[in-house]
């Protein structure tokens, strides 16, 4: 016996229109691959189906039943709020919907617990309301794959020549961030053919994560803002290395300042703490904001820089292999949760975002960097340092062996 075929609400509406136009029931059943009894059921429930569709803004989409959710008040309030935000072209992510649902639940039921707005609940909510995901903006970078293998070989030569361990190989990469930003993707109603955004709040910073290939050492973020001494930073111990530049760009002067005052001393201290010689390699992309390799060298020459080939960042630069993306995603989630929980501006996302200051953004960003798993950082090097290349922690291994034999 063939499995019963389910008909979506969208298809039921089409079938009703065909029946109203005098189409033969047998032909309709054959067209949709269903039995005549199903056609009869649709005819019997015609008024209920049409009333359901006409009294809601949600599109029927792929929905198959008229079953209502457990908490209809919450469901309707949330969908009305969702449509209000989309009419204003405000991007809405799944995290925003879940957080808003939890807030509505607390307001409606006066209970703190009992509703988690889980991933399964979100999927069902989107399915019930014909909500889908659209990309607002995006672009794909071109890459020069031919230059990657020769660079890998040269990198391995430098590693071997300097007897470097994974602990001593670092990568850093800058990334611009509108710290009052909204998501690049949004959930939309089924009626929306595209997803126009709103004007971005243009408060921009540049941040730069830097970590070693073993994932065991993350330096404090370099953060560059437009103000030299932001008022929000007064009497605050920052968890980042902050510098000011009128356009919030990472210039050669600022990068050299970071290298000499932050990278070299911090890396030296870390390597000495793990009983390794204070010798390190910093891998960078070849952009105009970076000083030359000759300038990026410690006084003793033991800490130095090497540049990746042009147009290879998307493929082999470690920080670009999900590390920066992880920071951005966690930052957005943190930002949106805080915005939606704002008791004053929570109903107006734009006003709530404007209430966030640079200090809030910097502390949140630093925490997101702290939350990046060491294993994610380590895996981000797999396209650059091949697994067959045996880069061993020689001195650490010898020390562990010595301690074991003499314990």
The answer to whether residue 232 is domain-embedded is yes
Both 249 and 184 in one domain: the answer is yes
295-313 confidence digits (pLDDT tens): 999 999 999 999 998 878 7
- 168-216: per-residue pLDDT in tens? 999 999 988 887 765 555 555 555 555 555 444 567 899 999 999 999 9
Q: Are residues 292 and 340 in the same domain?
A: yes
54 and 3 in a common domain: yes
Record the tokens describing residue 172, joined without a space.
Answer: 């850093």
Can you tell me the distance from the alpha carbon of 35 to that of 55, in angstroms, rounded to the nearest whole number?
Answer: 29
Residue 133 near residue 92 (C-beta atoms within 8 A): no
pLDDT at 18 over 70: yes
Cα–chain center distance at 187: 15
| Mean local confidence (pLDDT), 327-347 | 72
Both 254 and 291 in one domain: the answer is: yes
**pTM, entire model:** 0.61
pLDDT for the residue numbered 64: 44
Q: Which CATH number is 39's domain given?
A: 1.10.10
Answer yes or no: do 209 and 358 share one domain. Answer: yes
The predicted model gives 356-384 an average pLDDT of 92
Per DSSP, which regions of 35-181 are E strands? 132-135, 169-172, 175-178
Lowest mean pLDDT among 54-68, 93-107, 220-234, 322-336: 54-68
Q: Is 291 found in the same domain as 187?
A: yes
Q: Which residue has the higher pLDDT, 216 or 133?
A: 216
Pair 125, 75: CB distance under 8 Å: yes
Give, as one character, the DSSP assignment of residue 146. G
Provide φ and ψ at 404, rounded to 5°: -65, -45
Q: Domain tally for the chain?
A: 3
pLDDT for 240-265, tens place per residue?
999 999 888 888 999 999 999 999 99
Mean pLDDT of 136-150: 60
315 shares a domain with 253:
yes
Q: Is residue 36 part of a domain?
A: yes
- Clarify whether residues 191 and 101 are in a common domain: no
In a domain, 86, yes or no: yes
Q: Looking at 130, 154, 173, which one is the last position of a domain? A: 130
Cβ contacts of residue 142 below 8 Å, gap of 6+?
Answer: 311
pLDDT value for 218 = 98
CATH for 99: 1.10.10.60
Q: Are residues 240 and 114 in the same domain?
A: no
Which two structure tokens, joined as six digits, stand for 246? 């009128």
Question: Is pLDDT at 217 greater than 50 in this prediction?
Answer: yes
% of the chain at pLDDT higher than 70: 74
- 67: pLDDT confidence band, cut at 50, 70 and 90? low
Question: Looking at the predicted structure, is the pLDDT value of residue 405 above 60?
Answer: no
Residue 47 structural domain = 1-66
Could you give the C-alpha distances from 148 to 145, 254, 317, in angstroms and in order? Answer: 5, 29, 11
Share of the chain above pLDDT 90, in %: 34
When comparing pLDDT for 346 and 246, which is higher?
Answer: 246
Asked if residue 140 is part of any domain, the answer here is: no
Q: What pLDDT does 295 receive?
A: 95
Q: Is residue 38 part of a domain?
A: yes
Contact 248, 226 (CB under 8 A): yes
Domain final residue pick, 103, 130, 157: 130
Q: State mean pLDDT over 161-174.
A: 95
161 and 305 co-located in one domain: yes
- Looking at residues 372-389, what average pLDDT do you find? 81
- Long-range contacts, 67-74 (Cβ 8 Å, 24+): 69/124, 69/125, 69/128, 71/105, 71/108, 71/115, 73/108, 74/101, 74/104, 74/105, 74/108
Mean pLDDT of 90-104: 79
Residues belonging to the chain: 407
Q: What CA–CA distance (Å, rounded) separates 300 from 257?
A: 17
Higher pLDDT, 395 or 182: 182
Contacts 24+ apart (CB under 8 A), 231-240: 232/357, 232/358, 232/359, 232/360, 233/358, 233/359, 236/359, 238/362, 238/366, 239/362, 239/363, 239/366, 239/367, 240/207, 240/362, 240/365, 240/366
Read off the pLDDT band of 36 (50, 70, 90).
Answer: confident
Classify 324 as helix, strand or coil.
helix
Please tell me the predicted confidence (pLDDT) of residue 389.
44
Q: Which residues 6+ apart lie within 8 Å of 141 measured at CB?
A: 311, 313, 314
pLDDT above 60 for 61: no
């Amino acid at each position: 016996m063939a499995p019963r075929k389910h008909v979506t609400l969208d298809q039921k509406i089409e079938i009703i229109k065909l029946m109203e136009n005098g189409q033969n029931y047998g032909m309709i059943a054959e067209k949709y691959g269903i039995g005549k009894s199903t056609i009869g059921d649709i005819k019997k429930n015609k008024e209920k189906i049409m009333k359901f569709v006409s009294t809601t803004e949600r599109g029927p989409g792929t929905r198959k039943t008229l079953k209502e959710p457990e908490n209809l008040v919450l469901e309707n309030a949330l969908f009305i709020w969702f449509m209000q935000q989309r009419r204003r072209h405000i991007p809405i992510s799944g995290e925003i919907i879940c957080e808003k649902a939890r807030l509505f639940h607390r307001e409606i039921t006066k209970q703190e617990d009992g509703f988690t707005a889980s991933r399964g609940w979100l999927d069902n909510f989107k399915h019930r309301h014909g909500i889908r995901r659209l990309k607002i903006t995006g672009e794909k970078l071109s890459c020069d794959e031919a230059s990657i293998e020769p660079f890998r070989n040269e990198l391995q030569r430098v590693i071997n020549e300097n007897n470097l361990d994974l602990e001593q190989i670092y990568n850093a990469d800058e990334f611009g961030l509108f710290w009052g930003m909204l998501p690049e993707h949004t959930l939309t109603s089924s009626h929306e053919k595209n997803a126009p955004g709103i004007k971005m709040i243009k408060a921009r910073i540049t941040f730069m994560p830097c970590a070693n290939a073993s994932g065991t050492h993350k330096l404090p973020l370099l953060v560059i803002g437009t103000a030299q001494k932001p008022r929000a930073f007064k009497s605050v111990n920052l968890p980042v290395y902050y510098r000011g530049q009128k356009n919030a760009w990472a210039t050669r002067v600022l990068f050299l300042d970071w290298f000499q005052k932050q990278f070299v001393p911090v890396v030296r201290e870390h390597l000495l703490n793990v009983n390794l010689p204070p010798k390190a390699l910093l891998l960078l992309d070849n952009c105009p904001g970076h000083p030359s390799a000759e300038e990026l060298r410690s006084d003793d020459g033991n800490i130095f820089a090497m540049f990746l080939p042009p147009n290879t960042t998307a493929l082999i630069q470690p920080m670009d292999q999900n590390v920066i993306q992880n920071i951005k995603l966690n930052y957005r989630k943190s930002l949106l949760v805080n915005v939606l929980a704002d008791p004053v501006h929570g109903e107006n996302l734009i006003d709530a975002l404007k209430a966030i200051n640079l200090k809030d953004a910097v502390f949140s960003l630093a925490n997101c960097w702290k939350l990046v798993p060491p294993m994610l950082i380590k895996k981000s090097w797999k396209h650059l340092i091949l697994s067959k290349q045996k880069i061993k922690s020689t001195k650490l291994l010898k020390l562990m062996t010595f301690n074991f034999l003499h314990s």
